[in-house]
Chains A and B, each alone.
Chain A
């Protein structure tokens, strides 16, 4: 299989799962990694935006990024996986790079939406959504799932022009216990997502043949601090199934 990875995260919290997944897939597949952000001002904008929504230092602490000893680029060099950078995931250079590689699948970890044009550059873009689809779409999906559904799942789905609207290939529950913090749950979601990608790439046709619909639900936005406190209370009280 030819698998591309499209990243542009301004934060480093998902670095461990990226390196693990790429390392595992590198032996039997042709891989290509594309970093869709290379200007300092874009990283800064992304950071400032995220800073308003999350506790960055707690996220890094809880998801193990601090213990990752290598930058992803270093790991790619060691594995011999080719990579490139473009200034935006939605520009022509990005589309050209993707078309040149001609991937079967594109694994995404992004802090922005992909344009319809970019989505035409490969047959299937994948995203792991850390919330209950089809009900909870959008930002802080983990928190909204806990508040409104009292459960947490991760879904592997097609990236479509809407936000978290593409068909669903795989869904797995995430065990939530009273000791979990909201940022800690993100780490659990990443581990579940890693397992899902492993399973998906072991037999992709099996999962894409019978996708689940993703219609309905609602889009939610960055959750207010008081509502997050309420959600944390629900977790601590063991109110999540």
Chain B
């Protein structure tokens, strides 16, 4: 049974002024994106403004997504003809560390308050098994590994920051649930999204291993490592990861690929095991070469790294930038830094930072063009979350690098 606090969602009425505004907005966006994609000579790519401007707008949008859910959760996103969507537990969970980082960055306690409120809401909807439901609240009634792992990352952040037993106890239950979903090889085989194995679940394993370190529970760490080891068996010699689609018959995409890379990279940082770093670098090298050669990374990718879609996934761009910034931090290889900077610029160039009164002001689209298959016609909350993470990481890494070079 779900124990759920009520959240307020405003549903726009048919033919209301608000609905007309939404319709107009998405028509304008679609036309602009289509023109930029197919007629670049007359519609040049916008040049990004300062990172501070983009960060402030993105943080404002994220807070609006929380306000839209009564302050206790983040809306899944803002969508064509629907406006703000219902709360999304998974991404609300991993938005928590972003809010805590924003609070630290800006000194504004409101971000921390929202993080705590989301944390309390999540503990209230945790299922008896310890897991969390997949998709939007109310759409599924079974717990899902990946969604639980993402929420665990948020609970970890709160447990570490506040020391509150409520979050630690919830994280323990979530961790036990994740362990119960593994087979002896470390592969998550039960309670899976779309009932299929996903290599990107290694990002949930990161949450498990991180909580194991935090709570001094070696079994959680061992389980996280076991899944990371299994994920390594999915990597081909060319760096591609098998079993990494979201749906049966679907293609791997840059979003899921970045999940795998981040999971393995963070487990490397927790354990010091070089094998995970080597695996991430193998794939990241392909990403750098792909982007460098073609100036874009398609949303959908084939096993030979062929481009299987015309649109790009802006979420994937921001996530890959984070991975590449972290790899640069570890290795000092400027190729990683350069590609990460370009990816952040590409995402920033798509952000609306002019219509301050518009509901999409500061948000990041799922796809470019906005009608691309990935999160079509919407601004998913996780796209903006990862963009903020990338900007915050860039600020730290770039300042250090520029200082070192200029000395």
Contacts and interface: CB of A to CB of B under 8 A. Distances in A.
Nearest to A144: B334
A227 B338 contact: yes
- Majority secondary structure, B binding face: helix
A4 to B, nearest CB: 27
B288 A221 contact: yes
Interface stretch (A44-52, A60-68, A181-189, A195-203): A44-52
B341 to A, nearest CB: 4
A191 to B, nearest CB: 28
Contact of B405 (A138, A144, A147, A223): A147
Interface stretch (B160-168, B220-228, B289-297): B289-297
A39 interface: no
The size class of the interface chain A forms with chain B is 20 to 34
A195 to B, nearest CB: 31
A224 B339 CA distance: 8
Given A224-B342, A224-B345, A226-B341, A218 B335 contact: yes
Interface SS of A by simple majority: helix
Contacts of B338: 220-221, 223-224, 227
Contacts, number: 50
- Contact residue range for chain B? 20 to 34
B14 interface: no
A221 B292 contact: yes
Contact of A52 (B295, B334, B335): B295
Nearest to A44: B41
A125 B382 CA distance: 50
Contacts of A51: 44
Interface string B318-356: 000000000000000011011101100100000000000
16 contacts: A44-B41, A48-B40, A48-B41, A51-B44, A52-B295, A218-B335, A219-B292, A220-B292, A220-B335, A221-B292, A221-B338, A224-B338, A226-B341, A227-B341, A230-B406, A234-B405
Interface of A: 44, 48-49, 51-52, 138-139, 144, 147-148, 218-227, 230, 233-234, 237
Interface of B: 40-41, 44-45, 288-289, 291-293, 295, 334-335, 337-339, 341-342, 345, 398, 402, 405-406
